[in-house]
Amino acid sequence: MSAERAPSRKRSIVKALTYRVIILCLDFIVVYVLTRKAEIAAGFMIVSNVYTTVGYFLHERVWAGIKWGLTTTAPATKTDSS
């Protein structure tokens, strides 16, 4: 039987933090390039929601291929108590 892999808490925290950093940077950069106004870019960065969903999906796909932080658990064994 193969062992199951479960993500550790540390991995989940790192994923959440890296995702937020990536999305905040993307929001600011795109709006700043279009407007050349840091205030508008910062405001949009706070309220954006549509393309962050796409960013999150791509981030999840990348992390699906990273083995770091996954723990291996042995499969449950059946005990015969007859």
19-76 pLDDT, tens digit each: 888 888 998 999 999 999 999 999 998 888 657 777 778 888 898 889 888 888 777 6
Residue 57 makes CB contacts below 8 A (sequence gap 6+) with none
pTM assigned to the model: 0.55
pLDDT for 81 equals 57
CA angle 78, 80, 82 (to 5 degrees): 160
pLDDT for 33 equals 97
In a domain, 44, yes or no: yes
pLDDT for 49 equals 66
In a domain, 72, yes or no: no
- Domain hosting residue 51, numbered range: 4-66
Dist. CA 53–CA 27, nearest whole Å? 12
In a domain, 73, yes or no: no
SS3 content of the chain, % helix, strand, coil (to 5): 65, 10, 25
| Number of separate domains in the chain | 1
In a domain, 61, yes or no: yes
- Select from 67, 54, 65, 44 the least CA-distant residue to 19: 54
